[in-house]
Amino acid sequence: MPYIPPHKRHSKDPTKPDPVPDSLDIKFKKNLSLNSSCSSDKSNRIVYSGDSISKWFLVGSNGIEDEVPSYVKFVPLSSDSVECRKGEKPSVLMLNNVRNESEEKKEQWLLVAENVGEDLVLAYERAKTKMEEHHHVLRLVARFGKIFFYGHQGSPVSECSLKNSKTFSTDVPTSYLQHIKSEVVRSHGFSLDLEKETYTVKVSHHTRPNATINCKCSLKEDGRLSMYKAELNPVRHMVVDVSCIDKNLDMRLMLSAKRKMTSLTDKEISNIKALLDSATVDPNVKGGLRWPFGKASSEDGYRLFEACHVRATIYKSQTLRLRVRETDRFNERVGTGEIKREITLILKDLNSKLQEQNIEKSCVLEMLCGTLGSIWDFLQCDAYLT
Q: Compare 312 and 204 and report the one with higher pLDDT.
A: 312
Any domain includes 13: no
Per 3-state DSSP, the chain is made up of helix, strand and coil in percentages (nearest 5) of: 25, 40, 35
Any domain includes 15: no
pLDDT score for 43: 52
pLDDT band of 83, cuts 50, 70, 90: low
C-beta of residue 278 within 8 angstroms of C-beta of residue 291: yes
Strand, helix or coil for residue 342: strand
113 membership: H or E segment, kind and range = helix 108-134
pLDDT score for 377: 82
pLDDT score for 12: 40
Q: What is the CATH number of the domain that holds 254?
A: 3.20.100.10
Domain limits for position 162:
40-379
pLDDT score for 371: 94
Taking phi over 0 as left and psi of -120 to 50 as alpha, with beta for the rest, 46 belongs to beta
- pLDDT tens digits for 3-51? 444 444 444 443 333 433 333 223 322 332 333 345 555 556 788 999 9
C-beta of residue 164 within 8 angstroms of C-beta of residue 182: no
CA atoms within 13 Å, Cβ hemisphere of 302: 21
Any domain includes 327: yes
Any domain includes 7: no
Residue 242 CB: number of other CB atoms within 10 A? Answer: 27
Using CA atoms, how far residue 188 sits from 52, 272, 310, 327, in Å, is 32, 42, 25, 25
- pLDDT tens digits for 191-248? 999 999 999 999 988 887 778 999 999 999 988 999 999 999 899 999 999 999 888 8
pLDDT at 337 over 60: yes
pLDDT score for 372: 94
Distance (Å, whole) CA 73 – CA 202: 39
Residue 80 burial (C-beta neighbours within 10 Å; 0-12, 13-18, 19+): exposed
pLDDT at 158 over 70: no
pLDDT score for 281: 94
pLDDT at 176 over 50: yes
pLDDT score for 383: 56
Using CA atoms, how far residue 333 sits from 21, 148, 209, 296, 308, in Å, is 10, 24, 13, 11, 14
Please state the pTM of the whole predicted model: 0.82
List the helix and strand counts (H, then E) for the chain. Answer: 6, 17
Give how many domains the chain has, as a whole number. 1
Any domain includes 60: yes
Mean pLDDT of 379-383: 71
Return the beta strands (E) in 77-207 as ranges: 91-95, 137-149, 166-169, 191-205
pLDDT score for 157: 52
pLDDT score for 34: 32
pLDDT band of 250, cuts 50, 70, 90: very high
Mean pLDDT taken over the chain: 81
C-beta of residue 23 within 8 angstroms of C-beta of residue 190: no
Any domain includes 205: yes
Any domain includes 6: no
Mean pLDDT of 243-261: 91
pLDDT score for 35: 37
Residue 24 DSSP one-character state: G
- pLDDT tens digits for 339-355? 999 999 999 999 999 99
Any domain includes 149: yes
pLDDT score for 31: 30
Q: Compare 383 and 196 and report the one with higher pLDDT.
A: 196
Residue type, 333: R
